[in-house]
């Protein structure tokens, strides 16, 4: 790279000067948009680990230092002081709301909580064993059938509010369906978080008081999951949205992308792994050794991250919160102790040290969800509820980016070269 902010590339004897973009935190990107038109070559970056697919003003991560900020605010400040709806406002509109804006936003999030009554019929069609992630993804896509596709700024904004407000209703309904209980409707005198807990845990004709420890733990969990820049599901949302798909269709694709165990599905996988270790006599070294064995593809779920090569700041906050919340709720979960001991053994092991593998956000979140009474197969749905404002912010940013084009990568073809058609009898 030269002093003048240009990078030089030589390919097949041809020199190309590439502009360099520097972000507000000093991150450097070599702009290769003229590479193919001028040389015919493309870059090859499987898994996109070195590729910046966009410029973004939403979330900043420094993986080496373990920093995470939404719109400039440190994640620990937000987790300690903000409410989840405030963070939704921050991510989507770019700034924290004023007091009147916060009240107006909260009211809209509450008023739009009901889903069209006809959508209840969809729930009936799923078998009781259906994973709540498939229901959530299908239901969010189905919102497109009930609420017209957005065109103007106002319509887009209304659909954003609808999505934020209704997703929690759909999530809670999917849980009620799985346990065979009647749906509980949201109420206009309850806040966003209270309504979610009410719809999850209340039963008809019985009063339901929201436990403030549970409410505040939920607030923290949702905030910590609210955005994480260009991860697998967010990239999916931006990609689907770049083709002009509606908000609901794009976010539904994001929910599906999140489901995998290497991504949001890891929180469920962590609890299953901790349970397996517990039942197997809590031999932590055995499982750490298993990750190193060439004959096994076992990984410590909830460990490692593409970007963090240091502690994931979200995991630090959740580890502390797990102690505090379990204590306050009087829950004694052996899996918390197992998680802590496993972390200690792994972090002392050279395999994990050399590869800079630390606990990520999913390592302690499951223990908290369990203490709050949320069943294991709902964990990834909780992640999705938290991630909604981030997906929405990225969908909007992609849509409004100057000169935005459809996302369409290239490839290096490695298949057969041209060959003649072979008649059936000659094959
Ligand atoms: N346990 C054991 N070894 C691991 C682990 C792990 N959890 N994660 C990575 N490694 C090893 C990996 O085998 C590789 O070793 P080697 O260099 O000898 O081949 C090395 O560390 C680098 O890993 P990688 O697979 O190249 O890293 P990646 O950036 O492609 O994958 C990851 C990142 C998160 C998918 C991976 O660390 C992983 O599978 N972790 C477990 C699943 C998990 O917890 N996912 C949640 C991620 S955080 C929430 C979210 O944003 O979705």
Q: pLDDT digits over 314-340, tens only?
A: 999 999 999 999 999 999 999 999 999
- Nearest atom of ligand 1 to the alpha carbon of 302: 44
Dihedral, 32, 34, 39, 40 alpha carbons, nearest 10: 90
Ligand 1 atom index nearest CA of 233:
52
Q: Whose CA is nearest to atom 10 of ligand 1?
A: 304
* Ligand 1 center to 234 CA (angstroms): 18
* pLDDT tens digits in sequence order for the chain, 427 residues long: 444 589 999 998 889 999 999 999 999 999 999 999 999 999 999 999 999 999 999 999 999 999 999 999 999 999 999 999 999 999 999 999 999 999 999 999 999 999 999 999 999 999 988 999 999 999 999 999 999 888 899 999 999 999 999 999 999 999 999 898 999 999 999 999 999 999 999 999 899 999 999 999 999 999 999 999 999 999 999 999 999 999 999 999 999 999 999 999 999 999 999 999 999 999 999 999 999 998 999 999 999 999 999 889 999 999 999 999 999 999 999 999 999 999 999 999 999 999 999 999 999 999 999 999 999 999 999 999 999 999 999 999 999 999 999 999 999 999 999 999 999 999 9
Q: Report the interhelical angle of 361-371 vs 212-224 (nearest 10°).
A: 160
Segment 26-62, tens digit of pLDDT? 999 999 999 999 999 999 999 999 999 999 999 999 9
Catalytic site positions = 305, 362
Closest residue by Cα to atom 9, ligand 1, is 304
Q: Whose CA is nearest to atom 29 of ligand 1?
A: 306
Q: How much distance in Å is there from the Cα of 248 to the middle of ligand 1?
A: 30
State the closest ligand 1 atom to the C-alpha of 360, by its place in the atom list counted from 1.
Answer: 48
Global pTM?
Answer: 0.96
List all residues whose CB is within 6 A of at least one atom of ligand 1: 228, 231, 262-264, 266, 291, 299-306, 355, 357, 360-362
Nearest ligand 1 atom to the CA of 363 is 44
Q: Please tell me the residue having the least CA distance from ligand 1 atom 19.
A: 355
The pLDDT value recorded for residue 149 is: 84
Identify the residue whose C-alpha is closest to ligand 1 atom 45: 262
- Give nearest CA residue, ligand 1 atom 11: 355
Q: Quick one: pLDDT at residue 178?
A: 87
How many other C-beta atoms are found inside a 10 Å radius of the C-beta of residue 364?
Answer: 27
Q: How far is the CA of 161 from the centre of ligand 1 (A)?
A: 35
Hey, is 105 helix, strand or coil? helix
Nearest alpha-carbon partner for 24 in 73, 72, 75: 72
Mutate to test the pocket of ligand 1, among 262, 284, 304, 360 (most ligand atoms within 8 A of CB): 304
Location of structure tokens 């039963």 = 203
Q: Which helix (H) or strand (E) holds 163?
A: helix 153-179
Ligand 1 atom at minimal distance to the Cα of residue 270: 44
Residue identifier of the C-alpha nearest atom 37 of ligand 1: 304
Question: 32-38: which pairs have CB atoms within 8 A and are 24 or more residues apart?
Answer: 35/9, 36/410, 38/14
- Cross-strand pairs, 359: 303
pLDDT at position 129: 87
Pick the atom of ligand 1 nearest to 303's CA: 7
Q: How far is the CA of 97 from the centre of ligand 1 (A)?
A: 37
**CA 237 to chain centroid:** 11
3-state helix, strand, coil in the chain (%, to 5): 55, 5, 40
Rounded distance from Cα 305 to ligand 1 centre (Å): 6
Tell me whether strands 59-62 and 6-11 are parallel, antiparallel or unpaired. unpaired
Residue 31 Cα to ligand 1 middle (Å): 28
- The whole-number pLDDT of residue 4 equals 55
Distance 404 CA to ligand 1 centre (A): 32
């Amino acid at each position: 790279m030269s002093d003048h902010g240009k990078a030089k590339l030589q390919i097949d004897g041809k020199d190309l000067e590439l502009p360099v973009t520097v972000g507000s935190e000093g991150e450097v990107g070599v702009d290769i948009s003229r590479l193919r038109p001028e040389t015919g070559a493309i870059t090859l970056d499987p898994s996109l680990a070195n590729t910046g697919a966009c410029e973004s003003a939403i979330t900043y991560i420094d993986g080496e230092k373990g920093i995470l900020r939404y719109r400039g605010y440190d994640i620990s400040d937000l987790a300690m002081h903000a409410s989840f709806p405030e963070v939704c406002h921050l991510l989507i509109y770019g700034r924290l709301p004023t007091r009147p804006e916060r009240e107006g936003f909260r009211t809209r999030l509450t008023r739009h909580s009901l889903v069209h009554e006809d959508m209840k019929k969809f729930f009936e069609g799923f078998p009781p064993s259906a994973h709540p992630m498939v229901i959530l993804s299908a239901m969010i896509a189905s919102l497109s059938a009930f609420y017209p596709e957005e065109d103007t700024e106002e319509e887009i904004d209304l659909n954003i509010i609808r999505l934020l407000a209704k997703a929690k209703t759909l999530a809670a309904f999917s849980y009620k369906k799985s346990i065979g209980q009647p749906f509980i409707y949201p109420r206009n005198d309850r806040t966003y978080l209270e309504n979610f807990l009410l719809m999850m845990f209340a039963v008809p004709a019985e009063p339901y008081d929201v436990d403030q420890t549970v409410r505040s733990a939920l607030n923290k969990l949702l905030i910590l999951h609210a955005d994480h820049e260009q991860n697998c599901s967010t990239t999916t949302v931006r990609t689907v949205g770049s083709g002009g798909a509606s908000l609901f269709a794009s976010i539904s694709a994001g929910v599906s992308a999140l489901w995998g165990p290497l991504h949001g599905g890891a929180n469920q996988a962590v609890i299953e792994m901790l349970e397996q270790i517990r039942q197997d006599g809590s031999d932590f070294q055995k499982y750490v050794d298993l990750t190193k064995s060439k004959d096994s593809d076992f990984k410590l779920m909830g460990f490692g991250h593409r970007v963090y090569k240091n502690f994931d700041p979200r995991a630090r906050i959740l580890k502390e919160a797990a102690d505090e919340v379990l204590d306050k709720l009087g829950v004694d979960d052996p899996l918390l102790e197992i998680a802590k001991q496993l972390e200690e053994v792994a972090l002392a092991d050279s395999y994990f040290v050399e590869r800079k593998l630390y606990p990520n956000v999913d390592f302690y979140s499951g223990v908290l969800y369990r203490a709050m009474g949320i069943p294991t197969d709902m964990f990834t749905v909780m992640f999705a509820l938290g991630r909604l404002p981030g997906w929405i912010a990225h969908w909007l940013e992609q849509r409004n980016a100057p000169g935005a084009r459809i996302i369409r990568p290239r490839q290096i073809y490695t298949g057969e070269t041209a060959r003649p058609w072979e008649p059936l009898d000659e094959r």
